[in-house]
């Protein structure tokens, strides 16, 4: 019998996160004040984040130790298994060896608690009583309520109203963990009330929900805000994925040739990829591929410019690949990949040519999803399926070239709350959206012109 899973013991959970900022040859461009366009210092973030997280956001230390209390919670589901996808290899008749790092085994069902637990911990340490955040499809909100509950913090999740209505069970899960879930736009905040005054039937958007959560945090002394992707400290916490993966490969004496992850804001992709970047910078022959939907082609068709993180232009300006904060992506099922920007770190690495990016169409993505679910048994999230689509393409190239490459991808989450999207696929109701070029150009035309 072949060994499918490469496991680590709890004692082998890495004791420090890896900080990519220490290894970049050129530093990231600084965040700018949304009005003055001047570089901002850490103090600008104090109203919404605790000091420890602000320090991590700007730290250039090579590693940052993981506190014992966080490791203890991680051990509820970590280390996650690295699994050899024998059945998929067989189905594809490929000489490639395919592995996946399964982050879907966490109680909330994705990689998101890696940072949610860390953020809840540092907020708790800082005396914060409550965390406000936004969620779209619900993965991030689930992870944050899960984490807050374990540290005895309250949580308020502004959930995009259309998701609140369409995905009632994500909301239920958050309530099981004691989270308060508020459909957004709400009457709780001025931002919400303004929207409702203009459009009482508004179904909401991630941009609106972010504005509500930030306003909630700013308005209450005992409350802070938490973000589930994009920022440096979020990607830092996610490096636990790639660090474990390295240890697991070391155990079996294997080194990957191709790393693949789906990319929305970038936290899942970066979690796997960042701990391998130094090897790549030092000349190792390694492909590192971020996969995004062609319907929201941030990395493949966006511009590397300063832009706001939210629609309402309240956040600092970040230098990143962007389609423009005004761009509203088509309603693809991979809600976690519908974001106009990409993390500054991911954007920087793409700009430097250290990583690559590719786009996938929705129908092919679901074809790959079903193929994988039937081969390996796991019903996974539509976001993950983007990575799988690219894995399959790379494995097919290996078959044609007769190359026995080692491919590893991040299985970002299970799909137990995404089955309606599989239904749409089987009913042939999925749309392959045309490349939204004009809309993107229009959104990009609205960006501030910043001289660097």
Q: Which residues bind a copy of itself (CB under 8 A)?
A: 1-5, 7, 9-11, 68, 71-72, 75-77, 87, 105, 107, 109, 146, 149-150, 168-169, 172-173, 175-178, 370, 373-374, 376-379, 414, 416-417, 419-420, 422-423, 426
Structure letter (DSSP) for residue 254 = -
Strand partners, 133: 157
Beta carbons within 8 Å of 29's beta carbon, 6+ residues apart: 306, 319, 344, 452
Q: Find the shortest distance in angstroms from Cβ 340 to a copy of itself.
A: 30
Q: Find the shortest distance in angstroms from Cβ 71 to a copy of itself.
A: 6
Rounded CA separation 89/93 (Å): 6
Q: For a copy of itself, give the closer residue by CB, 12 or 432.
A: 12
Beta carbons within 8 Å of 383's beta carbon, 6+ residues apart: 262, 264, 268, 334, 335, 336, 337, 412, 413
Q: Find the shortest distance in angstroms from Cβ 229 to a copy of itself.
A: 22
Backbone angles phi and psi of 126, in degrees to 5: -85, 5
Q: For a copy of itself, give the closer residue by CB, 306 or 422.
A: 422
Q: Find the shortest distance in angstroms from Cβ 115 to a copy of itself.
A: 16
CB burial class (10 A; 0-12, 13-18, 19+) of residue 353?
A: exposed
- Whether residue 435 is preceded by a cis peptide bond, meaning omega within 30 degrees of 0, is no
Rounded CA separation 311/313 (Å): 5
**319: which 2 tokens?**
């230098």
Q: CA dist 22 to 29, 63, 191, 235, 348, Å? A: 14, 8, 38, 14, 14
Q: Find the shortest distance in angstroms from Cβ 36 to a copy of itself.
A: 44
Location of structure tokens 């990583």: 355
Contact between residue 400 and residue 433 where contact means Cβ atoms under 8 Å apart: no
Contact between residue 145 and residue 107 where contact means Cβ atoms under 8 Å apart: no
Q: For a copy of itself, give the closer residue by CB, 178 or 330.
A: 178
Q: Find the shortest distance in angstroms from Cβ 416 to a copy of itself.
A: 4
Q: Find the shortest distance in angstroms from Cβ 410 to a copy of itself.
A: 18
Q: For a copy of itself, give the closer residue by CB, 41 or 426.
A: 426
Q: For a copy of itself, give the closer residue by CB, 75 or 219.
A: 75
Q: For a copy of itself, give the closer residue by CB, 85 or 273.
A: 85
Location of structure tokens 């309250």: 154
Q: For a copy of itself, give the closer residue by CB, 71 or 323.
A: 71
Contact between residue 333 and residue 418 where contact means Cβ atoms under 8 Å apart: yes
Strand partners, 356: 289
Q: Find the shortest distance in angstroms from Cβ 28 to a copy of itself.
A: 33
Q: For a copy of itself, give the closer residue by CB, 2 or 93.
A: 2
């Amino acid at each position: 019998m072949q060994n499918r899973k490469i496991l680590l013991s709890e004692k082998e959970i890495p004791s420090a996160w890896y900080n990519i900022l220490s290894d970049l040859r050129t530093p990231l461009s600084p965040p700018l004040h949304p009005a003055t366009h001047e570089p901002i210092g850490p103090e600008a973030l104090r109203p919404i984040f605790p000091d420890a997280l602000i320090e991590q956001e700007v730290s250039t230390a090579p590693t940052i130790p993981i506190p014992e209390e966080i490791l203890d919670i991680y051990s509820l589901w970590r280390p996650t298994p690295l699994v050899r996808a024998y059945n998929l290899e067989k189905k594809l008749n490929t000489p490639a060896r395919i592995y996946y790092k399964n982050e879907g085994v966490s109680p909330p069902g994705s990689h998101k608690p890696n940072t949610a637990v860390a953020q809840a911990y540092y907020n708790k340490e800082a005396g914060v009583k409550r965390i406000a955040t936004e969620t779209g499809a619900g993965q991030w909100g689930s992870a944050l309520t899960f984490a807050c509950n374990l540290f005895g913090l309250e949580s308020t999740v502004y959930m995009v109203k259309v998701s609140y209505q369409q995905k009632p069970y994500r909301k239920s899960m958050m309530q099981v963990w004691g989270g308060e879930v508020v459909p957004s736009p709400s009457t709780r905040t001025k931002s919400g009330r303004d929207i409702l005054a203009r459009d009482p039937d508004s179904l909401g958007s991630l941009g609106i929900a972010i504005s509500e959560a930030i306003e909630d945090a700013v308005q209450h002394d005992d409350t802070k805000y938490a973000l589930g992707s994009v920022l440096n400290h979020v990607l830092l916490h996610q490096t636990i994925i790639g660090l474990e993966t390295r240890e697991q490969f070391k155990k079996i004496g294997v080194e990957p040739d191709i790393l693949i992850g789906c990319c929305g804001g970038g936290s899942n992709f970066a979690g796997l990829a960042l701990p391998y970047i130094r090897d790549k910078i030092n000349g190792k022959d390694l492909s590192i591929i971020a996969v995004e939907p062609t319907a929201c082609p941030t990395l493949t068709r966006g511009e590397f410019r300063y832009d706001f993180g939210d629609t309402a232009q309240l956040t600092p300006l970040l230098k990143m690949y962007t389609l423009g904060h005004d761009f509203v992506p088509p309603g693809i099922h991979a809600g976690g990949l519908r974001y106009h920007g990409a993390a500054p770190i991911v954007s920087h690495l793409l700009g430097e040519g250290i990583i690559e990016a590719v786009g996938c169409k929705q129908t092919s993505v679901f074809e790959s999803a079903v193929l994988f679910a039937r081969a390996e048994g796991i019903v996974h999230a539509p976001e993950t399926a983007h990575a799988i689509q690219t894995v399959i393409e790379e494995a097919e190239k290996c078959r044609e070239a007769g190359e026995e490459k080692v491919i590893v991808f991040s299985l970002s989450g299970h799909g137990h709350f995404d089955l309606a999207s599989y239904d749409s696929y089987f009913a042939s109701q999925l749309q392959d959206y045309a490349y939204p070029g004009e809309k993107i150009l229009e959104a990009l035309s609205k960006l501030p012109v910043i001289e660097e």
